[in-house]
Amino acid sequence: MPDKPGRILIQPHSATLGEFLLNAFAGQFGSFHSFTAVVAFVKQSGTQHLVETIEKWVAEGNKVKFIVGTDHRGTSKEGLEDLMRMIGRRGEVWVSGVAEAHITFHPKVYLFEGDAQALALIGSHNLTQGGLFTNDEAAAIQRLDLSVKEDRETLRSLKEAITNWSDPATGNARKLTKRVLARLLKDGIVVTESESSDEGKETKSQTKSSSKKSVFKKSAVKRKAPSVKRHVNKPKKSLPVVGVATARGRLVWSRRSLPASSVQQPSRTGTNPTGGLRLVQADFQVRGKAIDQTKYFRILFRSYRWQTASTKPFVETAQVLFEITIRGKYVGRHTLTVRHKPSGEAGQHNYTTSVSWGELGETIRKAALTGARLDLYAPANPGEPFHIVIS
């Protein structure tokens, strides 16, 4: 791993781009507030390694921008959907292309920016699993000291190119939305993973030919991408799959281990389930400060219409639209009742807000989710649903 940027990264011999990016997001190379990636191809094989890291980085108030090529069926629908999901409201995804078949959008740039420095990696790596970890790739890494005029000029030139690559006035760039993605799919410019050219995967013809004598030998270098935690857990029960989830917004709450009472399971003491999800503090922080759960969730759902359910004690409810994903399976859109009871605080900072599982109760019970992690995401765009992801 190149711990002193300003050198060459030779993958997989000296390091991998995946390791470099994850360490940069973790602050190993300094403090940064913006990240831009410009690549020819994006696939979910690559984005799956970065989704959780970038979602967390964005939730901390940082900015992200992706510019992605759409030539040669090398970019997939699933990869673009992952990018839209991870950027939240503080990010942008642009798609680039030209009408001429002999022209390809082909740059690969990864840029981190901070107040005093910037870090640029320019090389051959696409945002695929092969590009991040297993392919033979090379890149130059340059640290830019923004107190130095020459480095400021280098950054300015690089950002001018990035601006041009994402300028809709050129006719070669479009900001990615669900509508734009649907048009790209309809026109056959972007395809699903099963239809795309599988960079980093063996095709049937390659597998067949590899069994015969070849002028090439197998690689002497061990090449393996790390496993992705979010795909490890498998459902204990089969769950219905209903359509495809929309893009998520920013992460607004997490609970690392769900109690039995919140997921329709009896507790060890024999206590019956509550029928709903209790929205407690769960050590969740916003901008470094723990949330006040007695007010936070009522504010979070403030755009919905609230009605008084009772006056003694005072209870109000709202019907909130959620998209639910349970252990990797999307189970559709559901309107659930959010209940807010201010007196539940009782001066002890207990929970005051809960979500009733309603029609989902039996599905939640059968999935046996005690101890699972729950993440709550805000809508990616106004009018869209919140997301509940249980893994």
Taking the C-alpha atoms of residue 183 and residue 86, their distance in angstroms, rounded to an integer, is 21
Q: What is the structure's pLDDT at 224?
A: 67
More confident residue, 174 or 191: 174
Q: What is the structure's pLDDT at 372?
A: 92
The Cβ of residue 114 has, within 10 Å, a number of other Cβ atoms equal to 15
Q: Classify the phi-psi angles of 192: left when phi > 0, otherwise alpha if psi is within -120 to 50, otherwise beta.
A: beta
Structural domains counted in the chain? 2
Q: What is the structure's pLDDT at 83?
A: 95
Mark whether 43 and 182 lie in a shared domain.
Answer: yes
More confident residue, 345 or 367: 367
In a domain, 308, yes or no: yes
**Residue after which a domain boundary falls, among 144, 176, 199:** 199
Which residue type is seen at 173? A
374 closest CA partner among 227, 229, 263: 263
- Give 224-262 pLDDT, tens digit per residue: 677 665 433 343 444 444 455 667 888 999 999 999 888
Q: Is the dihedral of CA 154, 159, 161, 162 positive or negative?
A: positive
143 closest CA partner among 3, 14, 34, 18: 3
Mark whether 194 and 257 lie in a shared domain.
Answer: no
Mark whether 168 and 306 lie in a shared domain.
Answer: no
Is it the case that residue 382 has pLDDT exceeding 80?
no
Q: What is the structure's pLDDT at 72?
A: 86
Mark whether 170 and 305 lie in a shared domain.
Answer: no
Mark whether 62 and 160 lie in a shared domain.
Answer: yes
Mark whether 162 and 243 lie in a shared domain.
Answer: no
Is it the case that residue 344 has pLDDT exceeding 90?
no
- Give 56-107 pLDDT, tens digit per residue: 999 889 999 999 999 888 999 999 999 998 987 779 999 998 878 788 999 9
Mark whether 195 and 294 lie in a shared domain.
Answer: no
**Residue after which a domain boundary falls, among 199, 223, 253:** 199
Is it the case that residue 13 has pLDDT exceeding 60?
yes
Is it the case that residue 147 has pLDDT exceeding 80?
yes
Q: What is the structure's pLDDT at 217?
A: 59
**CATH code assigned at 334:** 2.40.330
Whether 121 contacts 110, CB under 8 Å: yes
**CATH code assigned at 148:** 3.30.870.10
- Give 280-316 pLDDT, tens digit per residue: 999 999 888 999 999 999 999 988 889 988 888 889 9
Domain that holds residue 237: 233-390
Mark whether 274 and 338 lie in a shared domain.
Answer: yes
Taking the C-alpha atoms of residue 338 and residue 40, their distance in angstroms, rounded to an integer, is 43
In a domain, 3, yes or no: no
